Structure 1
Amino acid sequence: MTETPNPRFYDYVTPVTVSRNDSYDFKATGPIRRAGLHDRRGRLLGHVWTDDHQAAGFTKIEDPEPDMGYAGGRVRRILADAYKAGIPAGGLLDPALYAPDFELRATPG
C-alpha cells in the first residue's frame, strides 16, 4: 500500500491565484488631494488621499498615540465599503463618509 504524503511536506509549491481585494488602487496615477482625519477629540489621526481617478488610501501620522491604532483598520473598512458601493475615488473626501466616528477636514494647499 502506497501512502500519499502530507502536502505540507512536498518539495514544491503549487501557485494559487488569489483574487484581488475589492478596493481602490494604492498607486496614484496623477496629483493627489488629501484631507486630515481627526478623532472625536480633535486629534489628527492621518490623511485620507485620492488621485481622483482610481487610487485612494489612508496614511497615518508618524507618531500616533497608542489609542489611535483603531483608525487605520476602520478607515480601510470605510474605503472598502465605499468601493463596493460604487463611489468613485474622487468622492472619497466627502466628510459624510467618515461621520460620526471621524471628522474629515480639508488640507490647505
Structure 2
Amino acid sequence: MKMNLTISVERLLGEVEFVVPGPLIGELKHLDNKYASAALQLARKYEIVPTEATGDNSVIELALQRKAFVLTNDKILRGRLRKLGISLIYLRSGTHLVVERV
C-alpha cells in the first residue's frame, strides 16, 4: 500500500511547509537504487533550500534554523537528531508514521 507522505504528515501535525536541503538533491542523484529515485522524485515536489552544510549536516542545519521536524528513516541521523533535541518523524513497519517531539 502506498502512503501519501504529505497527507499523512499533515494529519499528524496540521498544515506544514515541507522543505528539502539543496545538498540532498545532489546526493540522491548520485545514488543508484529505486529508493533513492523515489526519494528524489518526492523531494522535487517541495521547496529546495540552499544550505552551507552538506549531507546530514545540511538536514540538521535547516532543522535548527527553522525549528523544524525532520522526516527520515536513516537510523544514524535519527540518533544525531535526538541528541540535538530535534523533533523527528519516521516510517515504522512501512505502514505508519511515528512522531517524536522534543
* Bucket of the pairwise TM-score, normalised by the shorter protein: under 0.3
Higher relative contact order (CA 8 A, sep 6+): 1
Normalised TM-score (structure 1): 0.24
Q: Which has the larger radius of gyration?
A: 1
Structure with the higher helix share, 1 or 2: 2
Normalised TM-score (structure 2): 0.25
